[in-house]
Amino acid sequence: MTTATRRTAYRLSVLVAVLMAVTAGLGLFSHDLYRDNALVAAGWYGNDLVTLGVAAPLLTIALAGAWRGSRRAMLVWLGLLAYTVYTYAFYLFGAAFNSLFLLYAVLVPLSGAALIFGLASVDARSVHAQVSDALPVPQIVTFMTLVGGGLGGFYVIQSLRYLETGAVPAPIDATGLHTHLIAALDLSLVVPGALLGAVWLWRDEPWGYVLATVWSVKGTVYMMALVAATLAGLWTGASGAWELLPLWGAIGVGCGAASRSLLSHLRPGRVRRRG
């Protein structure tokens, strides 16, 4: 696409990085900010810690690398924008109203627009042509299918159980919300991205590589945030449920391994796919 499209994405991303750092910093150090119950507030603190300490700095570094023409940095940059859209959708729609509401309302569409412009500027065929034939596609596709299918199946079962018994899923009661926000965002963003990326990657479609990399990078950072949120709940006594930590850790390690493999097999200027 046009240089102007990429330039727009860069400019929006600079604003996103600044706002991420500001909101996460205020969330961490303004201890009277969150008005949610103890479990949800602990989750926000965990998210803020990873956003401030990992996501915002990494977004800045990746953006600088993408500006210099690094395709690996470009994919990491897009993955972190996907993380921002997903993460701040939780704050915008799930956090009890607080003094940062307007910042959340800016961050979600701003990062969404940056992601759209960024994706529109990607030459997927050119990127795909420089991916090594040694990329372990079956393993990555299997992992993405297991995560996407597992999450989707879990939420479908919860919904069907509600139709049968009228029992509201536990996360709704735990968060005090009136809807299953986690399921809504996962079924809208995470599950389709995983399954579509897996199918396209398996079929050797150019966009399959791009989508799989963006999804994996986003998943790596978000699983760090989810682990931090769970640990924050345990530390503050808001939750005693540690049983899911191994699952979050395993998915995070899997996403990290997939990201590393996908990025390391992108070798611009040296390796070409056989047609």
DSSP 8-state code for residue 166? -
Indicate whether 40 pLDDT > 60: yes
Q: List the alpha helices (DSSP H) in the chain.
A: 3-29, 38-50, 56-67, 71-94, 101-120, 124-128, 137-165, 170-175, 181-185, 191-202, 206-236, 245-264
How many residues can be counted in the chain?
Answer: 275
pLDDT band at 172 (very low <50, low <70, confident <90, very high): confident
Taking residue 127's Cβ as centre, other Cβ atoms within 10 Å add up to 20
DSSP-assigned beta bridge partners for residue 131:
266
173-188 tens-digit pLDDT: 667 777 888 999 999 9
CA distances for 101 relative to 206, 246, 248, angstroms: 38, 33, 28
Cβ partners under 8 Å of residue 22, min gap 6: 103
0.85 exceeded by pTM: yes
pLDDT band at 39 (very low <50, low <70, confident <90, very high): confident
Indicate whether 83 pLDDT > 60: yes
- Whole-number CA gyration radius for the chain: 19
Taking residue 231's Cβ as centre, other Cβ atoms within 10 Å add up to 18
pLDDT recorded at residue 275: 43
- Phi-psi category of residue 30: left, alpha or beta, with phi > 0 → left and psi -120 to 50 → alpha: beta
